[in-house]
Structure 1
Amino acid sequence: MDTLAPLLSKLDPIIGPWLATARDWATSPAAWSQFVALVLAWALAVGLGRRLGPRLGALIAPKAEARGLIAQARRWSLLLLPLLVPLLAYGLTALGEAFTRSLFGSGAVIAFGKRVFLFLAVRAFVRDILTEPFLRLLGRYILLPAAALYALGLLGPITLWLESLTIELGNIHFSVMALIRGAVAGALLFWLGSWSNRQSADYIRAQDGLRPATRALATKAAEMAIFGAAFLLLMSIMGIDLTAVAVLGGALGVGIGLGLQQIAANFISGVILLVEGQTTVGDYVELDGGEKGTIVKMTARACVLETFDGKWIVVPNEHFITSRVINYSDQGSANRYDVSFQVSYDTDLERLAEVVLPAVEALPFVLKSPEGPDLELAGFGESGVDFTLEYWVNGIDDGKNKYASQVRFAVWGALKAAGVEMPYPHRVVELRQGAGA
């Protein structure tokens, strides 16, 4: 009991007036009359809610096939229907408050009833409307207790008490209330920032008229703007002077200039890549350093290449700016490849094109534009005549496509069907007998 005495003495200024008010209401006929008025207001609100709820739902609900912002807003409005009854009770009580004060000379019970109805609205909001787990957690452990304290008239005194409790860290002083306010505001702001970032990213990706690089740049710019605004707003809510943030930004700029040159260079190079759009996600590239593969991701620091065998190579963005880059594909552009083969010297070379080209042209992936398959005489070898067959395809000859293999099969089949011999090396050995033998 000795340990509880100091705590009770501190809470007495808060709880004492509330207990005195409760005793006065319990013995006052005017207070009981106001309680009856509150019950009637709630009953009337329930009756009106049962009649108006279905009609409002039918009026607000859009058609199932409706799309767009207005239809989405109407669907969101339907979620607010559970608030109808407590808000009607709050409105009816507010309309009758002036009459009650003139009739009874006091409206303290009516004011308390308004706060209770507001608490019921908050409770319905948390229980029936909030579906996001994080928001429901905040509503259950922050919003509901605050609404309950407000209904009991204790929110103001407890807030003042928390403001009086201060924490000191060197020359920095802040109250417990400021710490709580900053934690709640920070969590809510950065959740809202994450949600806004997802919505803006989905909207930007859905714009088919923009190049992929432009969409990626717009997504990153929106992300930086959203979280930057959230950070500055949080600093303002917590009462932190933004000039200190400016000084910190200046120091950070010096640090970037001295010790983070590579990171800054890669970041700026990434922005340049996104703006120019010469290389983008989906392109197959090869760098001077030997790295080659399909770009599957472009971040602020590096590009991720996926090789034919499924390995990922992380290449800093600076390498795409300062070194020579071969881009084999620009979002599905055509590429030319060739295969080589050899025929016997006894072959009718004038007729060879009529044998090979139709077989290659019949392959579904071989293009007729910008140029159809072309057969060229490459040289005269030791065992036969060398030919090169050039063809165009819409894509990259990689482990997934295997264009060259299918073309070689087509050439082999055409030559076999026409009876054209494909030579192999021969060696003639002459045995000479010596003159004295």
Structure 2
Amino acid sequence: MDGQPEIVKQVLGYVNQGWELAQGWLLSPAAWSQFGLLVAAFLLALVVSRKLSPILTKTITPPDGQTSYLAQARRFVLMFLPLLLPLLAYAFTGIGEQITRSLFGSGAVIAFGKRVFLFLAARALVRDIITDSFLKLLGKYILIPAMALYALGLLDDLTAYLSATVISLGNISFSIMALVRGVIAGSILFWLGRWSNDQSAALISKQEEMRPATRQLAVKATEITIFGVAFLLLMNIMGISLTSLAVLGGAIGVGLGFGLQKIASNFISGVILLLEGQATVGDYVELDGGEAGTIIKMMARATILETYDGRWIVIPNEDFITTRVVNYSDSGSANRYEAPFSVSYDTDINKVPAIVEAAVAKHKDVLDKPFPPDCELRGFGDSGVDFAVEFWVNGIDDGENKFTSDVLFLVWNALKENNIEIPYPQRVVEIKGGFPGA
């Protein structure tokens, strides 16, 4: 023993203590009575849980099809029914502990049984109830080992050892226990932050009376608030002074400030976009650089456009502020398009506008306001008389909409019905000297 490392000596000491404790339990009548109470408490909990489970399931389960908040809360409570058996055993064991301590003055065995039942409850929670992959991983590698150490009575010793080991980084010092506590608390806090952010974003998105830009701004403000509060709580849990962080943060900020200018500019530009609402999700925009598409997502740094051929274009938010942007969808305004065509020189062109305008007005998407269809004479071409019909529609002439194509079909059919010829190029070829003889 004298030549062994310190960690080996500690482990052997715990083994000896455990062996002495086991011998004391095996030879003590009080210990056997506590074993009996543990078995009785477990059997009673088993009987009660089998009786209560069907009743609770029937009472808590909401009717099919209900989606109210109360129904969702009842389904959430129903998930915890697997904990009924170990928690009942824990409660009954606690009653047995009070009896043994009053009769024998000790209750070490039954207290150990209580901790074992609590460990079984934690195991059932991770195995049968938690479905989120991150929380299940956290429970599997942190909660269950911690509860196992608690059941064996080693958790307090380990906590004291980790608390006594201090790490110093400059003017910041913290114990290993604070670091472990921070990792656990940080994981839970930021998971809760992500979950609450998703829930709040879904709730805000349902507020149809708010403008899309206002909804996006509310979502971003909520996200910043949630994760800001989570960060402050984490610093408080770890016991790190925010004054110390201010010094370190100032030094890092000076070093990174020049490299993060563009990111800061894009972030501020994104906030301005959301505040002004000149472009928001669902708008079809075209930038000076030629990029065009529908805004499908506005993020802190950039905006994503989706083209009609399925490509995604990531545009820095700064480009929407510093360059010219054409918004085809702002405020629900209509868009004007034109469809060019030609007729033969043999046509009475005075009849063409009325025929074409009447035909185009029959299209279900062509609007009467701000202006009805308007057929204009554009010029006299090489092969025919050039016209164009202007029309107004709601939407973009691309993707699922084929406004110009539909209008040209209507023009073609209307001209054919009125025996108006659509010309094609004609050329006169003169061969000097005539055709050669055979």
Moved over 6 A (4+): 425-431
Partner of 2:31: 31
Q: How does 1:213-362 map to 2 (within 5 A)?
A: 213-251=213-251, 258-330=258-330, 333-362=333-362
Deviation (angstroms), 1:132: 2.0
1:181 maps to 2:186: no
Deviation (angstroms), 1:170: 6.2
Deviation (angstroms), 1:223: 2.1
One-letter amino acid of the counterpart of residue 147, structure 1: M
Distance 1:288 1:116, change over 3 A: closer
Deviation (angstroms), 1:50: 1.0
Which deviates more from structure 2 when the two are superposed, residues 221-230 or residues 45-54? 221-230
Distance 1:87 1:212, change over 3 A: same
In 2: Cα distance, 1:245 partner to 1:231 partner: 12
One-letter amino acid of the counterpart of residue 9, structure 1: K
In 2: Cα distance, 1:405 partner to 1:339 partner: 8
In 1: Cα distance, 2:92 partner to 2:117 partner: 11
Distance 1:231 1:47, change over 3 A: same
Tell me the C-alpha RMSD between the 2 structures. 3.0
Structure 2: tracts of 5 or more residues without a match: 432-438
> Contact 2:341–2:386 (CA<8 Å) still a contact in 1?
yes
> Contact 2:340–2:389 (CA<8 Å) still a contact in 1?
yes
One-letter amino acid of the counterpart of residue 137, structure 2: L
In 2: Cα distance, 1:309 partner to 1:12 partner: 70
Over residues 20-42 of structure 1, what are the superposed CA-to-partner deviations in whole Å (9 max), with x where a residue is unaligned? Answer: 33222211111211221221111
Over residues 61-94 of structure 1, what are the superposed CA-to-partner deviations in whole Å (9 max), with x where a residue is unaligned? Answer: 1112222222111111111111112211221222
Partner of 1:41: 41
Distance 1:211 1:106, change over 3 A: same
Deviation (angstroms), 1:273: 0.8
Partner of 1:106: 106
Q: Aligned with 2:300: secondary structure?
A: coil
> Contact 1:14–1:154 (CA<8 Å) still a contact in 2?
no
Partner of 2:201: 201
Give the TM-score taking structure 2 as reference length: 0.87
> Contact 1:374–1:389 (CA<8 Å) still a contact in 2?
yes
Distance 1:71 1:295, change over 3 A: same
In 2: Cα distance, 1:58 partner to 1:219 partner: 39
In 1: Cα distance, 2:62 partner to 2:398 partner: 50
Distance 1:216 1:416, change over 3 A: same
One-letter amino acid of the counterpart of residue 416, structure 1: K
> Contact 2:189–2:234 (CA<8 Å) still a contact in 1?
yes
One-letter amino acid of the counterpart of residue 120, structure 1: L
Q: Aligned with 1:296: secondary structure?
A: strand
Deviation (angstroms), 1:251: 4.8
Distance 1:86 1:307, change over 3 A: closer
Partner of 1:58: 58
Distance 1:248 1:277, change over 3 A: farther
Distance 1:277 1:416, change over 3 A: same
In 2: Cα distance, 1:169 partner to 1:248 partner: 11
Distance 1:301 1:138, change over 3 A: closer
Partner of 2:434: none
Q: Aligned with 1:208: secondary structure?
A: coil
One-letter amino acid of the counterpart of residue 124, structure 1: A
In 2: Cα distance, 1:244 partner to 1:343 partner: 82
Q: Aligned with 2:225: secondary structure?
A: helix
Give the TM-score taking structure 1 as reference length: 0.87
One-letter amino acid of the counterpart of residue 338, structure 2: D
Distance 1:381 1:172, change over 3 A: closer
Q: Aligned with 1:209: secondary structure?
A: coil
In 2: Cα distance, 1:429 partner to 1:10 partner: 111
Structure 1: tracts of 5 or more residues without a match: 432-437
Which deviates more from structure 2 when the two are superposed, residues 173-182 or residues 1-10? 1-10
Partner of 1:212: 212
